[in-house]
Structure 1
């Protein structure tokens, strides 16, 4: 399913003069998006059935090798309303990471090489799953190519090709009246119990923000793992109307923010 680049660009949105000018739909107090990286196999075996139990849609930024190994399951996830986003073609990060070969080191990338990564990743996902890709997550949360005096940000490329770009290991939620859609802040969900997650949720509710959680594996416990018990409790809490939370995909919330901020400028 194709689309024009213009329909999925993270255009420079107006910033609202006051935070209180922004409104979440249906009187909600804040928003949460659940996002997961790399198309880990436990996401389709454990995570998606749990999310579906609560009629909760998440955003999955997929790595293509893992995607193709479980292609039927990912087709079903996409058909069921979960969002599929891009995580580049080859997951380039700093060459300082031992799991990154020098051929995938951002220090040796160029903007042209990264543009090719983004375009080819989108085309491959769209061909395999028949979806439109509008959301991106920076591998390792890193947003540069090159090194030293030749270092350049590839955030403008992400803004050109996607409605949003999500970071990693940030420390706060997003202010929907102000945030840069090409540099959304995301907080780690892996390894946390629900009480730890709820502290962040409560702070987001107090500020009317948009909390983007990020995880990897989904299981009872383990390295880089969002705990099943935490995910279940989070879904139950966010689905309780008394708590005033809009729980939805990155794309859905991004489009609402676009509408609110573009409308305010009109």
Structure 2
């Protein structure tokens, strides 16, 4: 919904910014600090120096019509965060995506965002409750399973990157709901990748890749590799141009770069990386 430029300046910030943060658990108008996980480094599989996940939101048609051939020619698996009503329009193609090994993940039942977005005025987060959000996310999971015959999604992406319900003094975070129902929750329009030793998996960062060229994103990838981080790129449509569109030429270049063993990148869906982080932390 918003736009910003991710390039060399962001790549520099990735190295400079301290990735650790203190997650907050909302308690009405107040919040309490949640304990941080241990900070020992997390090693990536096969001696990779970073993890990279490509993710796409909304269940847009171009992800299965334009995206699947791109992913297939590079042997890449990605995460597709879907709204069930979008999947219903092309169930057979979405089944093909699942059969190809792509992660089918949850992007909510109704894609509710702030009512400040006119499209969401009749389903505004300001008018939601925690109970309603819990039911909508659980219902979306059930519907995805019914439509596609896949396991219940274990990854979630916050619509519009917004993590709250209510307004003013009654505002509450629904991050705890996501932490209960999923292994990971991905935000949106962030400025740094995830430190695997510290990240709150219910609030994993996502950096926009729509409208970018590979020349813009390569420094971001390289900075994440220097930090040993987990970079989650987030997009929407897949094609040659237009608003909220990840370019095919960029994907071809990025995926070729990521699949080159010399570059030390573990390319995997969000769910695979989140599971690896959970297991690595548990083994300490």
Q: Structure 1-normalised TM-score?
A: 0.92
1:123 and 2:142 are equivalent in the alignment: yes
Q: In structure 1, what is the Cα distance between the partners aligned to 2:35 and 2:225? A: 23
Per the alignment, in what secondary structure is the counterpart of residue 101 of structure 1?
Answer: helix
The alpha-carbon deviation at position 14 of structure 1 amounts to 6.7
Offset at residue 98 of structure 1 (A): 1.6
Q: Which residue is 2:124 aligned to?
A: 105
1:68-217 equivalences under 5 Å are 68-102=88-122, 104-132=123-151, 133-217=153-237
Q: Quote how far apart the aligned CAs of 1:197 are.
A: 0.8
SS at 2:118's partner residue? coil
1:3-35 CA deviation, whole Å, 9 max, x = no partner?
xxxxxxxxx9972333xx321111100010000
| Residue of structure 1 aligned with 2:251, choices 195, 215, 231 | 231
Structure 2's unaligned 5+ residue stretches are: 1-33
Distance across 2 between alignment mates of 1:255 and 1:66? 27
User: Is contact 1:14-1:261 (8 Å) kept?
Assistant: no
Partner of 1:3: none
- Which of 203, 221, 239 is the equivalent residue of 1:219? 239
Whether the 8 Å contact between 2:114 and 2:121 is mirrored in structure 1 is no
Indicate the residue corresponding to 1:249 in structure 2.
Answer: 269
Gaps of 5+ in 1: 1-11
**RMSD of equivalent CA atoms:** 1.2
Match of 1:27 in 2: 47
1:62-106 superposed Cα distances (whole Å, 9 cap, x missing partner): 01222110100000110110000001100000000022133x100
Aligned partners of 1:53, 1:176: CA distance in 2, in Å? 29
Contact 1:13 1:258 in 2 (8 A): no
Question: SS at the partner of 2:246?
Answer: strand
Deviation string, structure 1 residues 210-255 (Cα, Å, up to 9, x no partner): 0000000000111000000001100000000000000010111111
